[in-house]
Amino acid sequence: MKPDSANGTLRNRRRIGPHFPGALLSMALLAAIAGIPVGASAAPRIPNHNEDNYIPRANYLSPVAMVLSRNGLWLYVVCEDGNRVLAVNTKTRQVVRSVMVGRIPKAIALSPDGKALYVSNEQSGSVTEIDAQTFQILRTLSAGWGPVGLTTDSSGKVLYVANTLGNDVSVIDLKSGQELKRLEAGHFPEYVTLSRDGSRIYIANLLARLAPPDQPPVSELTVIDTRSQMVTARISIPGVIQMRHIAELPAAAGGYLLIPFMRPKNLNPLVQIQQGWYLTHGLAVIRPSAIDSRGPRNYQVTEVLLDDIDRYYADGFGVAVTPSGRWALVTASGANVVSVLDTAKLRQLLLRTPPVQRAELANRLDSAIHFVARRLATGRNPADVVTSPDGRFAYIANRMDDSISVVDIARTQVTSTIDLGGPGEVSIARSGERLFFDAGASFEGQMACATCHPHEGLSDGLAWSLETPQLGRDVVENRTLYGIDGTSPFKWNGMNPDLNTQDGPRTAMYIFRSQGFNAKEVSDLVTYLLSLRLPPNPHRAQDGHLTEAQLRGKAIFFRRRSNFGTLIPPADRCYYCHSPVTHYTSRVQMDVGTSTPYDTIHAFDVPQLEGVAMKPPYLHNGEALTLEQIWTEFNPEDKHGFTSDLRKDELNDLIDYLKTL
């Protein structure tokens, strides 16, 4: 379907009658569900789905990020569920101070003079500035949609904030507190660091660049020049997703950047799990070329695996290096382990591997034995890790234990645990949350639920070749877990009637290749999944007010007649499949003409539209990279809603409205 040059409408190649699945609801019932009186033509009044969905879990702290004071005496800990920052005295190993910040704080940075702390608040869209000495809040700065990683420049005059849901970086002037500009990042930018020489900001993007589903993923490390405050490089990291924290080795230790990642083999059939080759976990080792910091740079990218042949270290998260660069520590949040790396041996491995063979390291499970000095057990779901200025200790935030593990680096041992003061009792939802992040139930610890649903339930944006009777068929895009309560059935084919079926024997048999979870664990996990909520939506005003363009789009969504004046068949109306009172899904399977020769079915589960703005790619196989492509490229026969009569501006209005849901 292409725009017609004469009248600007979207014209079909041909038109066929609507497809009615066997289990169709009556038109009257669908109209009632959508809130539309039979015979009415006006759009119904619908509830404001941008209401405050925030559910505090204040009883738990969930430490996720840390920074040390310049003298190493104070450890500042961000607790995302407690919505607070704690100050821990590293000598007494006691929590001394606490201050409340915004909703779901995610990351923390210390000003170059050590006087101020900056904390990103993901669901508040803000940054809290704290006096590091008095622990008083100084001010709140506005950021973008879903701020996570942040850092100041070396002068302390500018703050860079990665907005994960906005796919951009806020550049904030700290004197005025005003945002100067936003720079385009990659897909879901989350973790940020300032280079040792202060000339560059590095941003690791959690998800791969949007691309056709039959291509392997490519992630991006975004590089910003601090002098020009412009993006100067977009470094491609092939074959990986979920890049996390970034550490930079000193020049004497090689000057490499170290970034944990997950390497999916999503184009392989799922049967590869038992051969140990469906997904792996490792480290991107990136070396900037030795060029003047103000000039253009080249970057050498090598990928090495941290997994062993018979054991996997799922969900690499935090990374830190000692001041000398002798040791690096990488947490595996799904394996409850921190790996201690001998950076000299890692460098030797890279140097003795010919450049033409370095790409092979990304697929070798016999590499880690050469440079991993030790694996240390941590608490549950280790996230961030930091090292003390004197190089004696490392501190690891155990997100699901509300604790900090203390590592004696010289002895390479966990010598103590700091209790941050969370509740002793484990609720049902907390038990399920622990299971969600733990890879222990899968074959050789290859994956947790969070491995394919990062960011606490997000889709990883990939299409996966799940095991079916015909291998390589029915490749489907991963779906988000946010706001799925009340949207059953599950799976794109709609075969799982509830989450207990989805996450019970099916997961054990086809995904984990293990005994999986027992009945109580499945129940706990489901309780946690049903608690997940969509983040605030910046495309819709807090009071539910719609812009003129969004109102026009809403009228198109609920229209009954085409621009030609003809009555649109009920099954071709948007609200027919996407009812506003049932999360914008009919909860049945529909054939909207999007099946391919690689699919063994034609009707797919109707997905809910709430939060659709943050869920690309689209369609069951992820073929549509944008909302616009759904109708401009993948709806040639008007089976996915009647849209061939829409002008370009009308389609834009419809999309503007959909983004508010």
pLDDT tens for each residue of 595-632: 999 899 999 999 999 999 998 999 999 999 999 999 99
User: If residue 173 lies in a helix (H) or strand (E), which one and from where to where?
Assistant: strand 168-173
In the predicted structure, residue 279 carries a pLDDT above the cut 60 = yes
Q: What is the pLDDT of residue 290?
A: 53
pTM for this one?
Answer: 0.91
Q: What is the pLDDT of residue 296?
A: 58
User: If residue 551 lies in a helix (H) or strand (E), which one and from where to where?
Assistant: helix 548-557
Q: How confident is the model at residue 542 (pLDDT cuts 50, 70, 90)?
A: confident
Condensed to tens digits (0 to 9), the pLDDT of residues 436-478 reads 999 999 989 999 999 999 988 889 999 988 766 677 788 999 9
Rounded CA-CA distance 84/105 in Å is: 7
> Percent of the chain beyond pLDDT 90?
79
Q: How confident is the model at residue 11 (pLDDT cuts 50, 70, 90)?
A: very low
Q: How confident is the model at residue 428 (pLDDT cuts 50, 70, 90)?
A: very high
CB-based contact 160:192 (threshold 8 Å): yes
Q: What is the pLDDT of residue 22?
A: 35
User: If residue 29 lies in a helix (H) or strand (E), which one and from where to where?
Assistant: helix 27-34
CATH class of 1-50+546-661: mainly alpha
Neighbours of 473 (CB within 10 A): 16
Q: Which two tokens stand for residue 308?
A: 């062993």
Q: What is the pLDDT of residue 266?
A: 86
In the predicted structure, residue 34 carries a pLDDT above the cut 50 = no
Per DSSP, the residues of 374-394 read: EEEE-SSSEEEEEE-TTSSEE
Q: What is the pLDDT of residue 227?
A: 96
- Based on the number of CB atoms within 10 Å of its own CB, is 98 exposed (0-12), middle (13-18) or buried (19 or more)? middle
Q: What is the pLDDT of residue 295?
A: 56
Place of tokens 């704690």: 86
Of 230-234, 283-287, 471-475, 639-643, the one with minimum mean pLDDT is 471-475
In the predicted structure, residue 47 carries a pLDDT above the cut 60 = no
Q: What is the pLDDT of residue 23?
A: 36
Q: How confident is the model at residue 544 (pLDDT cuts 50, 70, 90)?
A: confident
- Given this chain, do its domains 1-50+546-661 and 430-531 carry the same CATH topology? yes
Q: What is the pLDDT of residue 403?
A: 98
59 φ, ψ (degrees, to nearest 5): -65, -25
Q: Which two tokens stand for residue 97?
A: 């101070």
- Based on the number of CB atoms within 10 Å of its own CB, is 633 exposed (0-12), middle (13-18) or buried (19 or more)? middle
Closest CA to 77 of 591, 86, 68, 29: 86
Mean pLDDT on 91-104:
97
Q: What is the pLDDT of residue 6?
A: 34
Condensed to tens digits (0 to 9), the pLDDT of residues 194-226 reads 999 999 999 999 999 999 998 999 999 999 999
Domain chopping of the chain, boundaries:
1-50+546-661, 430-531
Q: How confident is the model at residue 42 (pLDDT cuts 50, 70, 90)?
A: very low
Condensed to tens digits (0 to 9), the pLDDT of residues 218-264 reads 999 999 999 999 999 999 999 999 999 999 999 999 999 999 999 99
Q: How confident is the model at residue 503 (pLDDT cuts 50, 70, 90)?
A: confident
Q: What is the pLDDT of residue 367?
A: 95
> Percent of the chain beyond pLDDT 70?
88
Q: What is the pLDDT of residue 506?
A: 77
CB-based contact 306:438 (threshold 8 Å): no
In the predicted structure, residue 46 carries a pLDDT above the cut 70 = no
Q: Which option is the CATH number for 430-531: 1.10.760.10, 3.20.20.70, 3.20.20.140, 3.90.1150.10?
A: 1.10.760.10
Rounded CA-CA distance 261/204 in Å is: 10
Condensed to tens digits (0 to 9), the pLDDT of residues 132-154 reads 999 999 999 999 999 999 999 99
The set of residues, in sequence order, having a beta carbon less than 8 Å from that of 638 and lying 6+ positions away, is 12, 15, 16, 572, 644
Q: Mean of the per-residue pLDDT values for the chain? A: 89
Condensed to tens digits (0 to 9), the pLDDT of residues 83-97 reads 999 999 999 999 999
Q: How many Cα atoms within 13 Å fall on the side-chain side of residue 221?
A: 30
